[in-house]
A and B are shown apart, each in its own frame.
Chain A
Amino acid sequence: MSEFRVVGKSLPQIDALQKAIGETTYVSDIVLPKMLYGRILRSPYPHARIRNIDVSRAETLPGVKCVITYADTPGVKFGPRSEDWTILADTKAIFEGDEIVAVAAVDEDVAEEALELITVDYEPIPGVFDPLDAMAPDAPLVHDDKPGNIAAEFSIQAGDVDDALKRSHFVHEARYFTNQVYQAYLEPMGAVAQTDASGRLTLWVGTQIPNMMRMSYAKALSMAPEDIRVIVPDYGGAFGAKMENNSHLVAAVLAKKSGRPVKVINPRQDDFIAGNPRVPMYIDMKVGVDSEGILTGKDVKIVGGNGARTVYGPAIVSTACYRVDSLYRFKHVRAKGYTVYTNTIPTGCFRGFGNSQSTFALESSLDAIAEELNIDPIDLRMKNAIGPNEVSVHGWKIGSNGLRECMTKAAETAQWSDKRSQKKPFRGIGLACCNHVSGNRAFAREFDGGSGIIRVGRDGRVTLYHGESDMGQGQKTAFAQIAAEKLGISLEQIDVAVVDTDVSPFGLGSFATRGTTIGGNGVLSAATEAFRQLAGVAADMLEASEDDIVAADGKFFVKGSPEKYIPFKEVANQASTSRGGAPLIAVGSYIPPTQLPDPVTKYGNISPAYPFGCHIAEVEVDPETGEITVVNFVAAHDVGRAINPMATEGQIEGGVVQGLGWTLMEKMVVENGHLVNPSFLDYEIPGPLDVPKITPLLIESIEPEGPYGAKGIGEPALNPSMAAITNALYNATGVRILALPVTAEKMLSELHKLRADK
């Protein structure tokens, strides 16, 4: 890594000190002149007809400036994937938390008081709450025009699975269940909205997809996309959740009607009941293997809960159907996925995007297969792991691939062999692997790519504009490091502009672990063009050929003669001065060599780069109480190249802990459509005392398609955690966990069952 001066360095996030001193303005901190505070009245029933709404008392409460119902909205149906959304409910509430009425008032207390003065006459009707129940022929319909409550179906097939499984030495078959969990970012969702005299709308919103959101919202508001400006200030975490949400649109409608800026921030309970948590899935999986331990085929049926309207459920279920197939050298695979409406909270993206669910299933199955064949779980995976420069069963062109090295290094660090062979009672060690994408061509169908704009001012200050999103993962810093490296300057000389759809490039956004690879390549392209222009100016100043100009340490010089240099600032000054004061502007773009999958076979290379990983967990179980302690965790990830090793480790540590929370603690308890635990008091996420020692290992396979060799890390950081822990639990106790989460109570009852069976 010594070849680089900025890339590959563990530098602090460029905005970290600002955050540490409390001077960062998050979305929920924004205050505008004459701003009102909005609140949403939500349905207390999971399924109810709305017979009448009386807002008259709320409207006359002093301090209330605006009340809106469905009639105040454009009344169009819209949605990012399926047009089954309305901003406020019309004649029927379809989940507990559904938006019914909203108010804007001079302060939050008045807004809350106003909600209590609204009377809604509901007629509760039978609902359906579990996706399997919702598929029954006589199930109540969530949407009258969606027969069978089917939101989407997905099929994929390659090879001849039936034949492959028939000829297998052993076929492992199981039903897995992965539950609905909440992303639990610390800043709740919300937005500030303002309209100007021309009717143009500005939204300040914490979102991973500013540009795509604008398209969805244009339809919802019956506006032209260019009349909506989305600005993305700093915001407090997302993990997949912060895409489209009605709270933003409610703010927009309130602002339009009241003529004043309106801030709507979900109170935490609202966020629990009307955010967009993880898609719960039933996964029926068959995996075959021959007597040598070579995987023969995989057949899977998945039923995923969409909730009451479609966020990204169908794309998540389809991802669960096949992404994990490209982890190994499968030749015969088949999957059928159903995304099913229920009268529950609409589900959406959460780190892993369906691949985490199916990774839990497949990696649990492989653990069982290894035991059946009496081979080491690592050996089983080594025999089957896809390698570098191979093409997977679905046409994915794997570039660099450090999967085997991940396994080897993780095993060494965790002392795998010793701990497997010298097993202690109620202590166990388990592992799981994962693959993922760095961008998903199948997600946004219009185009794929990333771009950047670099502005170099006459003062030498460099500003980078991008169209992705920094939700806290450090995207801005990674981009700044990529640009600084190319321009030969330090991180302090670069500002990364706030994403603003009026100014920034049209980025697809931060999801599918695409930011660093695809967005980063766009930034690198812009920086390369900026360097080309600056080098031309420097060449004139140095009376040398442009091709011989080098930039490093804030200087331009002729290759081999670093002592005769011109400071970056002087070159920038000259570039601007010679152009009548114009800043130097460089635009760059990256179009990845990906393919839109075939509509029938889904065959096609969907990502420019594929990250891999291997997690090893060590656990202890208290046989008297069932209490589970994760005592040690090793997480090895092929990240291509770590643009910022410290930040990459931070991604891994955070991902592992989210996986640990999902496996052992987190559960949205829904009873007849009612969420029983909509608060951090009753929905526990890991705290510092729940976290074991985590050792992240960065495996740098140097991806040819990645900027400076980088691949993504966001989602793979979590994907294998669940199965690593449950496989360790099996090793510790002989209890095979097929459904998440496994709480102490559940472990204890499984231990009792195991003893009774003996």
Chain B
Amino acid sequence: MKTRISVTVNGEKHDLEIKPNRTLSDLIRIDLGLTGTKKGCGQGKCGTCTVLLDGKPVNSCLILAPQVNGKSVVTIEGLGNGERHPLQRAFAEKGAIQCGFCTPGMIMTAKALLDQNPHPTEMQIKEAIGGNLCRCTGYTKIVDAIDAAANIVSDSTVETGGRDV
């Protein structure tokens, strides 16, 4: 049995006919081919599949497709709107990326943080990314990158792509 849903992803509306048990992560990765969103555990524990759902960070592997009907999703590909988002540049420049498999989820979580709190403290950054695992970097340079991006974002209003972002 398939169900019809309508979902906006990175500003583009998609009408889809899908199995009701389809996860949002599979919808994004397989049905829409947006493989920037990663799948690290499928249990909502590693954070690599983090996307923004109506502006809030969620583990897309724990969300079923029918739950996003009528909603708006932003993935890593929708950040930046043609330009690199300061978070993306800061992650690359500050050495916050090694294997990079955690990076898209980490950046989406950080994006949600900066939307809510443009001047987070180090502890607030660590708390915000507490659900995103990284095995390569030891987090130090990730925290530095988010801090650096916060300074850039708060200095200038940056258009970040995706209609609702």
Contact = CB atoms under 8 A, between A and B. Distances in A.
Interface of A: 10, 12-13, 15-17, 19-26, 28-29, 31, 107-109, 183-188, 234-237, 239, 267-268, 471-474, 646-647, 649-650, 653-658, 679-681, 685-689, 691, 694
Nearest to B141: A650
12 contacts: A20-B91, A20-B100, A20-B103, A28-B38, A186-B38, A187-B38, A268-B46, A471-B99, A650-B137, A681-B45, A688-B132, A689-B126
B98 A473 contact: yes
Contacts of A658: 135, 138
Nearest to A268: B41
Q: What 3 pairs between A and B have smallest CB-CB spacing?
A: A22-B36, A472-B99, A236-B101
Interface string B135-157: 11111111100000000000000
A267 B101 contact: no
B40 A268 contact: yes
A679 B46 CA distance: 10
A29 B32 CA distance: 12
Given A186-B99, A679-B41, A21 B84 contact: yes
Given A19-B103, A186-B102, A653 B40 contact: no
A321 B134 CA distance: 32
Contact of B35 (A15, A29, A646): A29
| Max chain A C-beta neighbours (<10 A), residue from B34, B35, B100, B143 | B100
- Residue with the highest number of chain A CB atoms closer than 10 Å, among B43, B75, B84: B43
Contacts of B91: 16, 20
Contacts of A31: 33
B88 A184 contact: no
B37 to A, nearest CB: 7
A650 B45 contact: no
A186 B97 contact: no
A687 B38 CA distance: 18
A677 to B, nearest CB: 12
A10 B141 CA distance: 13
Nearest to B88: A20
A716 to B, nearest CB: 15
B42 A22 contact: no
B138 A691 contact: yes
A20 B98 contact: no
Contact of B99 (A20, A109, A235, A268): A235
Nearest to B41: A268
Given A234-B100, A472-B99, 14 more contacts: A12-B92, A12-B95, A13-B92, A21-B77, A23-B36, A23-B77, A186-B134, A237-B99, A472-B98, A653-B141, A654-B135, A654-B138, A679-B41, A691-B138
A687 B84 contact: no
B135 A680 contact: no
Interface of B: 19, 21, 26, 29-30, 33-43, 45-46, 48, 75-77, 79-80, 84, 87-89, 91-95, 97-104, 107, 125-127, 129-143
Given A186-B134, A187-B101, A679 B95 contact: no
A13 B100 CA distance: 11
A63 to B, nearest CB: 13
Nearest to B104: A22
Contacts of B132: 688
Given A184-B135, A268-B42, A689 B98 contact: no
Given A17-B92, A23-B36, A653-B140, A680 B45 contact: yes
A185 B99 CA distance: 9
Contacts of A21: 36, 76-77, 79-80, 84, 88
B118 to A, nearest CB: 20
A549 to B, nearest CB: 34
A28 B36 contact: no
Contacts of B126: 688-689, 691
B142 to A, nearest CB: 7
Given A654-B136, A680-B41, A236 B92 contact: no
A16 B92 contact: yes
A24 B43 contact: no
A20 B95 CA distance: 11
Contact of B43 (A26, A109, A653, A679): A679
A474 B98 contact: yes
A656 B103 contact: no
Contact of A681 (B26, B43, B80, B98): B43
Contact of B48 (A13, A186, A471, A649): A186
Contact of A239 (B36, B80, B135): B135
Contact of B107 (A20, A24, A28): A20
Nearest to B95: A646
A21 B43 CA distance: 24
Contact of A691 (B75, B89, B93, B139): B139
Given A20-B89, A21-B76, A21-B80, A186 B42 contact: no
